[in-house]
Amino acid sequence: MARFTNRLAKESSPYLLQHAHNPVDWYPWGEEALAKAKTENKPILVSIGYAACHWCHVMEHESFEDEATAAIMNANFICIKIDREERPDLDHIYMDALQAMVGNGGWPLNVFLTPEGKPFYGGTYFPPKSMYNRPSWKDVLIAVAESYAKKTEEVHAQANNLTDYLIQSNSFGQTSVTQPEDNYSKVFNREISEKIYSNIIQIADKTDGGFGRAPKFPQTFSIQFLLQHYYFTKNEDALQHACFSLDKMIAGGIHDHLGGGFARYSTDAEWLTPHFEKMLYDNALLIITLSEAYQLTKKELYKEVITGTMEFICRELCFERCAFYSSLDADSEGEEGRYYVWAKAEIDEILQEDSALFCNFYNITDKGNWEGKNILRELVSACDFAKNKNIPERELRLLLNACKKKLFERRNQRIKPLLDDKILLNWNALMNVACSKAFAALGNEEYKKMAIENMDFLLQHLKGKDLYYFYHSFKENEKKSPAFLDDYALLIQALIYLQEITSDTKYLYKAKEITEVVTDNFSDEKKIFFYFTHKEQKDIIVRKKEVYDGATASGNSTMAYNLLQLSVIFDMPEWKERATKMCSALSGTIIKYPSSFAVWATFIQQLTYGIVELVITGENLEEIRKPFLSTFIPNKIYQSTTLENKEFPILKGKNVNKDPLIFICKDYACQNPVTELSALVSLLENVHKYNVKPIQ
């Protein structure tokens, strides 16, 4: 019998292609499916997931590959499959709808819509038979089809009410916001910053690091807030918990001790058992955070892990070293985690006489620490372990590294998890920031080269030629989906950081140009916040405004940062005013729930302690720029130049001599330049301590 092929076979998304041979008559999201639903007056079933999603695979195997189940779906619904990473706008809308209906969400996301695209019922994973207090998928399909046929008016009324709710819940920022000078002192003050710190540290897990209970995500934005809080206040508890959290993640099973990189999250509180998928954005965020932690502490462990994570990305997620793929699956050979876990007997066979010590260090036993197998994790540090075993630490590390190399080579012979090889603008831009941050912290020229080549790729291959200035996704020379707010926001941020490590002002001009595109096409009616979608995009029922800092920063919080930076660089005070209005309008929520708005919280903290303008000039500025970049100064706006430059306000009038000079300024008023990095650090400590404005 010929293998069934549906319309998804023509798509490029690995997730959609996974479903191309389902007996379900899947459509991609688009006019053909939406028009057919209206013509036939059929409800739409939208199923949303992503390539690395374990439970998405489970539901596919159990239900979407089953011909009897597919027959019910095909007879009663227009069935649409969506890759949430290709269409995050649709995922946001229908996830919000599901959470409004049932109070929770997740993937796979299965939502039933009217022919007009309005949601009226949904859920996440449904089993093939009723279990786990969940109805079977077949029962759900039949019940929804009957309800739509027999209670059509009620279904449409429910869908209209739910859509009205989504629109209403999205209306924040439409009321008038007072001028920033009215709210500035009320929001951007040290008492508020301390309250935010208190609310973050209140949910800190002092036993296992991180925040809250299982499942546990890295929450890098909260860790960054703590690192910066220590920088401004010298509160040792803030630094201690930030580093403790990073150390626990690095020691845990969420960290791949053999191949580098991190899994998406831990299913338990102690970071042992990951959800084994590896996402580009998680690893980029951890590189950024570890780079800042290394700048602040110079802890060798962080340097090692940054290097290992960068090596993993170059090896597993790189397209010709100039672009980055999206993710690696949690599953291989039909099992979650199979690629990464070990039986002790296999390790004994590979390592021979070295196995006992290695297994002792990495918590490997005959019984296993997860479902009869072993996930590598460190229960004590190498230093303490060496002392306990009365062996030199250097000798221990050499042995462990040699053993890991042997296991890694054996692991490479296994069937690897599926690679999602689409290239996303927002995640690539975030990884570009990570390359710049890693270069700044470690000084590895390869990281700077990667950032430059990646930016060249994005500006060439993701650039649009028509109504949409950029596109969101790229694969096999095809661009898909108009770029969303976070694509633009992260691209602008990457350009700003790239300028910092290169001194090349072309990146600033491009950042300003793209910011103007965003303000023209994404601004809300009051010109305060930004919508997630372009004003000309018509295939959605709601234009959402995302402000929540979840797995990645919201486009709005990133744009607030961008507007502040560029307002000073180009002397555009209206952009700073808009950034502070955005923050002021959300301040009550940010203060109360800072772990969910941690990028906003960090922005409040930086404005509270003041933004400093730093300039390095000199024909030989490289001799001081590398140590300068490796210094943790989180609240800076920074430019450097080897030539006199009158085009930028903070460069204008700065002397350029053979030897480097460092200028510290605020509101374009500068102190006398210094020639030593230590003198700059001392000056900055006084500025932050007293929050004084440098006097010219």
* Structure confidence by residue, pLDDT tens digits, 433-460: 999 999 999 999 999 999 999 999 999 9
10 Å Cβ neighbour count for 9?
Answer: 12
The answer on 164 and 64 residing in a single domain is yes
DSSP summary character for residue 447: H
Give the strand order in the sheet containing 27-28. Answer: 27-28, 78-83, 44-49, 109-113, 119-123
Domain harbouring 42, CATH code: 3.40.30.10
Ranges under pLDDT 70 in the chain: 1-3, 172-183, 687-696
Alpha helices by DSSP H, listed for 298-413, are 300-316, 344-351, 355-361, 382-389, 393-411
* Structure confidence by residue, pLDDT tens digits, 24-68: 999 999 999 999 999 999 999 999 999 988 899 999 999 999 999
Range of the domain at 57: 7-169
The answer on 594 and 557 residing in a single domain is yes
Q: For residues 421 and 17, is the Cβ–Cβ distance under 8 A?
A: no
* Domain stops at, among 609, 625, 655: 609
**Dist CA 231 CA 542 (whole Å):** 41
The answer on 17 and 133 residing in a single domain is yes
The answer on 639 and 568 residing in a single domain is no
The answer on 185 and 141 residing in a single domain is no
Whether 11 is covered by a domain: the verdict is yes
Whether 272 is covered by a domain: the verdict is no
Whether 620 is covered by a domain: the verdict is yes
* Structure confidence by residue, pLDDT tens digits, 362-404: 999 999 999 999 999 999 999 999 999 999 999 999 999 999 9
Q: Which two tokens stand for residue 693?
A: 């404005």
Whether 294 is covered by a domain: the verdict is no
Q: What pLDDT is stored for residue 689 in this prediction?
A: 57
Whether 279 is covered by a domain: the verdict is no
Whether 395 is covered by a domain: the verdict is yes
Counting the structural domains of the chain, the total is 4
The answer on 161 and 21 residing in a single domain is yes
The answer on 139 and 55 residing in a single domain is yes
* Domain stops at, among 609, 634, 649: 609
Kindly report the pTM of this predicted structure.
Answer: 0.95
Q: For residues 84 and 49, is the Cβ–Cβ distance under 8 A?
A: yes
**Dist CA 581 CA 223 (whole Å):** 25
**Dist CA 159 CA 181 (whole Å):** 43
The answer on 636 and 577 residing in a single domain is no
The answer on 641 and 510 residing in a single domain is no
The answer on 629 and 605 residing in a single domain is no
Can you list the positions of beta strands (E) in 202-273? Answer: 265-266
Distances (CA, A) of 82 to 11, 15, 60, 111, 349: 11, 8, 13, 11, 45
Q: What pLDDT is stored for residue 687 in this prediction?
A: 67
Whether 312 is covered by a domain: the verdict is no
* Domain stops at, among 588, 609, 630: 609
Q: For residues 432 and 295, is the Cβ–Cβ distance under 8 A?
A: no
The answer on 183 and 62 residing in a single domain is no
The answer on 580 and 630 residing in a single domain is no
Q: Maximum Cα–Cα distance for the chain, whole Å?
A: 83
